[in-house]
Structure 1
Amino acid sequence: MEVGEDGVTTTATLIETTKNEAPTVQFGKNLWIAVVTAEIGAVSLQAGKIYSYNLLIDDKQEVAVKGNLRTEGFLTDADTPVPQKALGYKSNILPSFAIPAEKPQDLFIAQASCRKMHGQGDDALAYLDSVLESYSKETSPQIKNRPQQLLLTGDQIYADDVAGILLRFAGTQGDTSRVGEETIAIRVDTTSKTEELSAEHVTFPPYLRQHVINTYAGFTSGAAGCHLMSFEEFAGVYLNSWSLRSWNEDFYRRINEILKEPTKAKIASVAKDLLEGTGTLDDPNFLSLMKDVDNLMGEAKKYVYHEKLTEILKGSPSSEKYTKWLDKIKNTLERELKEVANFAKVLPQVSRVMANVPCYMIFDDHEITDDWNLTQRWRNQVYSKPLGRDIIRNGLMAYAVFQDWGNVPSEYKAIEETGEDTTTLTERTRFLRLTAEYCDRVATQTGLDTLRSEVIGPMETLLGMGSEASKVKWHYNFPTGPVQTYVLNTRTSREYPSLNASPGLIPADELKLQLPEVLPNPEAPFVMVVSPVPVLGLASFEELIQPAAAAVVGIKDSEGSEVGVIAGEIEFDLESWAFNVPAFERLIERLNTYKKVLLLSGDVHFGSTAVLDYWKGTDAAPSGRILQLTSSASKNAWMENLAFFKSAIIQKIFTGIGADLEKVGWKGKVLSVTGKVSIRNRHRLRQDLAVIPTAGWQTGAKVNVEPDYRWRLRFLADERERPDEHIKTDIIPTNQESLKTGYQKVVQRHQDTFISGVSRRLIWPSNVSKITFEEDGTSWKVHHEFFFRKGNRKPAERTVGAHIKHVASLKAMGDETKRPQLV
């Protein structure tokens, strides 16, 4: 079916494909995966039209087709065995999609990041389902009213921070294992023997993995009590995150109890049953898993149970330590159950979004572990440990299968073809085939004695876990209507100035691979670039607060143990682009060659929009403009209960007290300075790459050479007038009535901001953003809108909508063209 932009249904046309068949590939005992690609023949897909599709499932042993989306129940709403939404938004209508429009003014790009099943807040991806549903009801639908691409910019799963109930059930479908019995390797030190232990929730119970993860894997995550370890666990979490159909029946039954009766009493009852209820050897309760120190754990107990935990579990159940420990587990489980139920409630809507919008993804750190490749010390600490390498490898195997394979299917060939020249295979293909070989040996329990030498070893080499750099390059690019979108890999090819210093997220040689010097279409109106970590971060936070905090926080925890850079959790991540000046300036310089750039990012757990103008040499006008569009988190609201972070005062502090951040820089110059200059700026000016802010430059001080470049960064606010907002009032200090009414309105405005969760600059609730374009003379205005629920206090009264809109032109105008100066 084709639906024109005017909404008129035209004659159905079957688009012939040159390749429309894909065999399923086995990745374990009960895990079969197919990536179906349709290579279009003579008739190409056209922008401005809607295309529907079907999926035919057959059995090679028989001629007849065995099923399709209709026969499998995907085209109708259903309540059992799990809820299902009709993928076509109407009964027996196929799902559909639109390719991005050819004109920017007709584009609708959506972006989101940071989606944790038990994270706080709503699952904002479900809001896009409401948009698509509204579109399907329009009598004259326009293409620009439906999402044409969805970009997921990182942390699609949280491998380190997993709900206990998800860890308990993710690896099984019914009573059967998805992949098979896997092992992980643990070595106490470089001189001791490596032990192979079963990698599942009985050997390593939920809530008890923190010690083994920090001590024997070397990870620094502070929320690793349920950290994923095996490929089966990673695969199960991916499946459970996108479709209710993949959920273990017992898992869904328990969550459904809460969905039917969402009360504190019911949540407490389900938690108590999971924790302390009658369990069997095949289905032990959480407490029996955690307490059976001597019998159930076998040889793994010496790695799981540290001294304090052993003392608690072997003590009397009525002891104070035991009671506190049990209460903590119970409270955690209850919080997780509440949020997992909220997640499950709208998961059918999210699945429907994925079926109707072309989607591209990239990892950030949580797909593997928090702080992944944070510093050189972290890498040395983790990659020297077999368990650290095993977990990272399993995570990347799952990422390749469940995310990246769909991004660039042409670089993956899972099945060997007759007469194939193996010397021409891509590194992605080599890695995928090794993954399949690993899963086959695990599923059949054959060839295990050579699994590490013949399969795991080559995989580690491909991933750069030894002395060589990673051979698998995870970056990629694709067309978005009239422009090209480049997705950056900022995790696996970093540069490290020293053991503990902030890394350069992309080295110089790698930057040339990820962002080409010459664009395929130099006349394109702009370029889109995805960086999981925002390139343009909060000005004052990065310039002042975070570096200072990272320098002093994390030496000792509340109990006096060493943490931070020394050991344990690194509280303040040192991986903002701005923390490594050479890498940041190098990236900005490359982006400036594209003239007009949209950066799409997540990671930071708030939404925002920033703009940077760039001047080269002594040019009077800026040579390029970069917009930073950040959307985070889709389900993992940050510090929801810390009201002061949402106040307008803190918002202004975080964004430079409403001012611009300006810097000037010199490359490879010997500089001399006259006049009074701060010690910090003198030190900066001695660097090969000398970059200093204009703020704080003392009057009369001069540098003997003009800067090689300059830039100005500012954060945008929603400038629309709000009818429900208390009008701002000038306060006249000498007028008593003005003081009284003015301050009352100021207080009321701040209170309203906190209650609603809606500010003008930063978006704290769970959100997904919409990017659209408007003609602006010879350039374009970018509209960055955020979908989220308005209001924190009463969920029943919350409303969904684009309550924040940031608007910026891709061309500097007026005062924006005045270049930064040292005065």
Structure 2
Amino acid sequence: MTDISPLPKLLAGPILRRLTPDRICLWLVTSAPAELELELLPQGHPAQSHRLIDPSSGLRRLNASASLHYLLVDLPLQQPLPQDCWIDYQLSLRFIDSGPAADWQPLTELAEGICYPGRQLPGFYLPSQVGAVLHGSCRKPHHPGADGLVEADRLLERCIGAPESDAERSDAESSDARGLPEWPSLLMLSGDQIYADDVAGPMLRALHQLAERLELPAESLQGLGLSTIDSCQGLYQHHDSYYRRERILPQTERGQALLEQLFRGARKPVFTSDSAHNHLITLAECLLIYLLVWSPEPWRLVRPRMPAELSDAEQQRYRAEQLAIEQFVAGLGAVRRLLAHLPVAMQFDDHDITDDWNLNREWEEAAYGHPLSRRMIGNGLLAYLLNQGWGNRPEAFEQGLLEALQRVLDQPGGKSHDELIDELLRFEGWDYDWQTQPPLIVLDTRTRRWRSESRPHKPSGLIDWEALTDLQRRLRGHDAVLLVSPAPVFGVKLIEVIQRIFTFFGQPLLVDAENWMGHPGTAHGILNVFRHPKTPRHFVVLSGDVHYSFVYDIHLRGRREGPHIWQICSSGLRNNFPDKLLALFDHLNRWLYSPRSPLNWFTRRRRMTITPRKPKGTPSGRRLLNANGIGLVELDPQGRPWRIRQLVADGEMVAFVRKEEEAHWD
């Protein structure tokens, strides 16, 4: 492939990750090995300068090729940073391949537009108390419409010169619904940061060009059940590589029960996504898609021209996706700037790996029993570790595991590759806590599931008994918590009933039957967590997954002392639900399951009063908001949300208001 432009030294980042007064964590990707220098400049306080060259000084490296280097700064600070003040930072890089006399290059030169207007350096804010949280999930690059992360960047640009005072923040009832929040304390991305199972043709084409340009080593696919494909190059050049990958993905025999014949026939793809035509397969594809969704720089290296072997219908689809991808790429400079200014917490959901990941025991037996699907899931996990999980909780990944990962990056597809996948499939460190105030407690609802022992097709519980017990321990001693569950703990009851009906008839895959109430053990366990006498008084539950947004106020019947629970769902960043179908579900759910409906007594949440809030400005009665955007939750000093909004296209802020406030709207 003819070179298009020189390799940019900085391919992606920096992305701020876990930040505390005594520790700084950030992630970046370069095209050459580099040493770093980090200068921290808190306003009104002494500056700090740190040279980062190896793990002992706070820099960890993993290299996927001579032109692809992942760097994680995990820097303990002997002199803690002050809280509640703005902290500028300058990150300078010296690229080792340029020789010992190479100059230091500042971030502001390597990443054009990384600073907000009026600022000479990027920066961040370390609050002693969480005041505002941005949160969202489900960001599909080729989905039409706005990008919630771009909307968040626009909010920060408006905020940076006009932060609200403490007095303005506490005056919840009189605040203008369009008022600016204080500088957000963190950004929570609660799942589906990528869509590994639903990739646009132009995106897949760009991945293959980028893999060639960055000279990633070839991954062997021998022994995975692909009779005519033995390497990643063979896959990329195969006539079914674009829009027809479902033909080469694993198939598994199913039983011959009548319902299976009616619904899905005797043979069923292991991977259940309806859009698996371009499902990611190789480690290179899984790694590089993160660069293409977080940074504009890699796009300068590719020209994703249409493959020659596409049918007329596929060519038409490719062109439509190309327009959406071009719009997506146009916003990546803003996304990079956003991620460089806020601590970013992340957690996987299914599409980060594959649709319906670990939905039930039957799915797991099929997926992990086939060598190709096992490799694909493992490649997704390896890429998640390197791009997301590493910065959430660096101490969870021991040096031995990282060394094993480096061996796989050096020579993908060998015995060590499959051995590391086996280790990651047993790994139980994907959940984590950030010691903010209130603390951020992030659940792993994908790999620690409570599998049904009665029938393999029944949905698994989102977390098992051991994880529930561990959660109760993590909650002790806190008066308020920010609890992150990728799937809503308290979802739309009508949709959950529909999922139960399909599950009864043996078809949970048709309706993505994954919810907290779908498994009796998990349902009773999580509800008992809320009812425990030593549980926190205030729970703010942040969720995504469902492709629409809503807010519920939840109280235990007969309990005056609480706890008070707010279920806040923001989905999706760049995805949404079929509008007419959602409107129907919304209407029927309000009619059948209003707070006073006797049908509530037939649900597992009958001991709780659940009151939905109305998104202001939506059609009469609607409680579910269907719009690309990002959630914004503002907390008072006790950790209670006093204002909950959704940022949608063009900077509009849609407030979710309590029922008693609806009569006071203008």
Output the TM-score relative to the length of structure 1.
0.65
Instruction: Check if 1:786 corresponds to 2:632.
Output: no
CA displacement, residues 289-326 of structure 1 (integer Å, 9 cap, x when unaligned): x5xxxxxxxxxxxxxxxxxxxxxxxxxxxxxxxxxxx3
Q: Any conservation in 1 of the 2:458–2:503 contact (CA below 8 Å)?
A: no
Match of residue 712, structure 1, among 609, 614, 621: 609
The one of 90, 112, 115 equivalent to 2:136 is 112
Partners in 2 of 1:536 and 1:25 — Cα distance? Answer: 40
**Aligned mates of 1:645, 1:343 — CA distance in 2:** 25
TM-score in terms of structure 2 length? 0.79
Q: How does 1:729-748 map to 2 (within 5 A)?
A: none
Could you tell me which residue of structure 2 aligns to residue 198 of structure 1? 232
Alignment length, in residue pairs?
577
> Is 2:200 the counterpart of 1:153?
no
| Contact kept in structure 1, 2:375 and 2:418, CA below 8 Å | no
Identify which of 234, 242, 247 aligns with 2:294. Answer: 242
Q: 1:601 maps to what in 2?
A: 543
Q: Secondary structure at the match of 1:516?
A: helix
Cα distance change on mapping 1:807 and 1:32 into 2, 3 Å: farther
Displacement after TM superposition at 1:242 (Å): 0.2
- Equivalent residues of 1:214, 1:220 under 8 A apart: no
Name the structure 2 match of 1:266: none
Provide the residue aligned with 2:155 in structure 1.
131
CA contact (8 A) 1:637 1:766 kept: yes
Closer, same or farther: CA 155–139 of 1 in aligned 2, 3 Å: closer
User: Does 2:630 align with 1:764?
Assistant: no
State the superposition RMSD in angstroms. Answer: 3.2
Q: Which residue of 2 aligns with 1:385?
A: 370
Q: Which amino acid aligns with 2:609?
A: R
Mark the CA change 1:23 to 1:708 in structure 2 (over 3 Å): closer, same or farther: closer
- Are 1:33 and 2:70 matched, yes or no? yes
Kindly state the Cα deviation for residue 471 of structure 1 after the two structures are TM-superposed: 2.9
Whether the aligned pair in 1 keeps the contact of 2:225 and 2:371 (CA below 8 Å) is no
* Range that drifts further, 237-246 or 592-601: 592-601
Change beyond 3 A, Cα 1:174–1:431 = closer
Matched, 1:287 2:308: yes
In the aligned structure 1, how far is the partner of 2:446 from the partner of 2:602?
A: 32
Query: CA shift at 1:575, angstroms?
Result: 1.1
Partner SS for 2:59: coil
Range with greater deviation from structure 2 (160-169 or 593-602): 593-602
Q: 1:12 to 1:612 in 2, by over 3 A?
A: closer
- Provide the C-alpha distance between the structure 1 equivalents of 2:142 and 2:491, rounded to a whole number of angstroms: 27
Q: Which residue of 2 aligns with 1:694?
A: 601
Query: By how many angstroms is 1:801 displaced?
Result: 1.6
Give the Cα–Cα distance (whole angstroms) in 2 for the partners of residues 545 and 602 of structure 1.
19
Choose between structure 1 and 2: higher strand proportion.
2
Once the two structures are superposed, residues 175-204 of structure 1 have per-residue CA deviations (whole angstroms, 9 ceiling, x without a partner) of: 524422112245559xxx997443642135
Distance change in 2, residues 1:167/1:139 (3 Å) = closer
Corresponding position of 2:116:
89
2:471 matches 1:529: no
Q: 2:419 aligns with which of 434, 454, 458?
A: 458
1:137: how far off? 3.0
Paired residues for 1:548-697 under 5 Å: 548-551=501-504, 570-592=509-531, 593-615=535-557, 621=560, 623-639=562-578, 642-643=579-580, 645-646=582-583, 650-655=585-590, 657=592, 659-660=594-595, 693-694=600-601
2:659, 2:482 → 1: CA distance? 15
Q: Which stretches in structure 2 are left out of the alignment for 5+ residues?
A: 1-41, 170-180, 253-268, 661-666
Q: Is 2:201 aligned against 1:168?
A: no
CA distance in 2, matches of 1:766, 1:368: 22
Residue pair 1:487, 1:531 contacting (<8 A) in 2 also: yes
**Equivalent pair of 1:478/1:484 in contact (CA under 8 Å):** yes
1:209 to 221, 245, 250: 245
Task: Rate the CA distance shift 1:507–1:774 in 2: closer, same or farther, 3 A.
Answer: same
- The amino acid of 1:223's aligned partner reads S
Letter in 2 for 1:715: P
Does structure 1 conserve the Cα–Cα contact (< 8 Å) formed by 2:197 and 2:276?
A: yes
CA distance, structure 2, for counterparts of residue 237 and residue 708 of structure 1 = 40
Does the aligned pair in 1 maintain the 2:202–2:325 contact within 8 Å? no
Query: In 2, Cα distance between the equivalents of 1:145 and 1:62?
Result: 44
* Amino acid across the alignment from 1:645: L
Is 1:405 matched with 2:344?
Answer: no
- SS of residue matched to 1:783: strand
Aligned letter for 2:420? M
Taking a change above 3 Å as real, the CA distance of residues 95 and 141 of structure 1, as seen in their structure-2 partners, is: farther
Give the SS at the match of 1:510. helix
In structure 2, what is the Cα distance between the partners aligned to 1:572 and 1:65? 57
Q: What is the alpha-carbon distance in structure 1 between the residues aligned to residue 587 and residue 458 of structure 2?
A: 29
Give, in whole Å, the separation in 2 of the partners of 1:529 and 1:174.
38
Question: How big is each residue's C-alpha offset from its partner over 1:262-299, in whole Å with a ceiling of 9 and x where there is no partner?
Answer: xxxxxxxxxxxx44xxxxxxxxxx233x5xxxxxxxxx
How far does the alpha carbon of each residue in 1:663-715 deviate from its partner, in whole angstroms, 9 at most, with x for none? 9xxxxxxxxxxxxxxxxxxxxxxxxxxxx95269xxxxxxxxxx999222232
2-structure distance, mates of 1:92, 1:350 = 17
Can you list the C-alpha shifts for 1:766-803, whole angstroms capped at 9, x where unaligned? 0201010247xx884432100002xxxxxxxxx42212
Q: Tell me the SS of whatever aligns to 1:506.
A: coil
Measured in 2, the distance between the counterparts of 1:139 and 1:377 equals: 52
Match for residue 545 of structure 1? Answer: 498
Q: Distance in 1 between matches of 2:541 and 2:594?
A: 21
Does structure 1 residue 471 correspond to structure 2 residue 427? Answer: yes
Larger Rg: 1
AA aligned to 1:461 is: D
Contact residue 783 and residue 808 of structure 1 kept, 8 A: no
Q: Could you list the per-position Cα deviations for residues 352-397 of structure 1 after superposition, in whole angstroms to 9, with x for gaps in the alignment?
A: 1001111000000001110111111111111111001110111000
Matching residue within 73, 78, 82 for 1:46: 82
1:490 touches 1:531 (CA, 8 Å); kept in 2?
yes
- Structure 1 residues 343 and 433 mapped into 2: Cα distance closer, same or farther (>3 Å)? same
Q: After TM superposition, give the deviation of residue 637 of structure 1 in Å.
A: 2.0
What is the CA deviation profile of residues 471-504 of structure 1, one whole-angstrom value per residue up to 9, with x for unaligned ones? 3421111022x21111111111112113001111
**In 2, distance between residues paired with 1:64 and 1:808?**
63
In 2, Cα distance between equivalents of 1:769 and 1:374 = 27
* SS of equivalent residue, structure 2 residue 292: helix
> How far apart, CA to CA, are the structure 1 residues paired with 2:596 and 2:193?
32
CA contact (8 A) 2:538 2:640 kept: no
* Residue 223, structure 1, aligned to residue 178, structure 2: no
- Please give the alpha-carbon distance, in whole angstroms, between the structure 1 residues aligned to 2:116 and 2:153: 9
Residue 493 of structure 1 pairs with residue 448 of structure 2: yes
SS at match of 2:160: helix
Contact 1:187-1:194 within 8 A present in 2 as well: no
Q: C-alpha separation between the residues in 2 aligned to 1:456 and 1:139?
A: 49
How many angstroms does 1:118 deviate by? 0.4
Aligned to 2:46: 13
Letter aligned with residue 437 of structure 1: R
Higher mean C-alpha deviation, range 604-613 or range 18-27: 18-27
Instruction: Give me the whole-angstrom Cα distance separating, in 1, the residues matched to 2:237 and 2:165.
Output: 53
Aligned-pair CA distance for 1:56 = 1.8
Shift of 1:550: 4.7
Confirm or deny that 1:68 pairs with 2:106: yes
- In the TM superposition, residue 55 of structure 1 has moved relative to its aligned partner by 1.3
Secondary structure, counterpart of 1:34 in structure 2: strand
User: What residue is the counterpart of 1:268 in the other structure?
Assistant: none
Question: Structure 1: which 5+ residue stretches go unaligned?
Answer: 1-8, 77-85, 255-273, 276-285, 291-325, 413-425, 443-447, 465-469, 554-563, 664-691, 697-706, 726-748, 751-758, 790-798, 810-823
The residue matched to 1:71 in structure 2 has which SS?
Answer: helix
| 2:409 maps to amino acid | C
Higher normalized contact order (CA 8 Å, seq sep 6+, divided by chain length): 2
Q: Kindly state the Cα deviation for residue 337 of structure 1 after the two structures are TM-superposed.
A: 1.4
Aligned-partner Cα distance in 1 for 2:393–2:659:
32
2:537 pairs with 1:504: no
Q: Distance in 2 between matches of 1:439 and 1:620?
A: 55
Give the counterpart letter for 1:613 in structure 2.
Answer: H
Displacement of 1:31: 1.3
